Structure 1
């Protein structure tokens, strides 16, 4: 499994209506252990999510099913593989 940091920028006028479905989508992935942490940026322009996936293709297949992606809320998205080495969330 690999870690990926995904940053999105919102289409502001669409986001409020879709946000509840987006959060349900992420909550389900968190229950499955595939989302470590997710949330909006402090300035409200977008959000960050730390995902775990088999590989980048698997991640993209997953995040393309996010209501934000399906309903046009994402103005811009970046995906970067992340290699955590220190932290309380990491297994010993």
Structure 2
């Protein structure tokens, strides 16, 4: 499994209506252990999510089902693999 940091920029006028479905989608992934943390940026322009997936193709297949993407809220999306080495979420010896 690999970690991925995904940042999105919102289409502001569409975001409020779709937010409940987006949060439900992420909540289900969090229950499955696939989302470690997610939330909006402080300035309200977008959000960041830390995902765990088998690989980038698996991640893209998953996040392409996000209501934000499907309903046109995502103006821009970046995906970067992340390799955590220090922190409460990192298993000892990683």
Normalised by the size of structure 2, how large is the TM-score? 0.97
Q: Which residue of 2 aligns with 1:65?
A: 65
Using the alignment, how far apart are the partners of 1:59 and 1:21 within structure 2? 19
Q: Which runs of 5+ in 2 are unaligned?
A: none
Aligned position for 1:87: 87
- Aligned-CA RMSD value: 0.4
Structure 1, gaps ≥5 residues long: none
CA distance in 2, matches of 1:91, 1:42: 29
Q: Secondary structure at the match of 2:79?
A: strand
Q: Which runs of 4+ in 1 moved over 6 A?
A: none
Aligned partner of residue 20 in structure 2, secondary structure: helix
1:44 corresponds to 2:53: no
What are the Cα deviations for residues 33-72 of structure 1, in whole angstroms up to 9, with x where unaligned?
0000000000000000000000000000000000001000
Partner residue, 1:9? 9
How many angstroms does 1:90 deviate by?
1.4
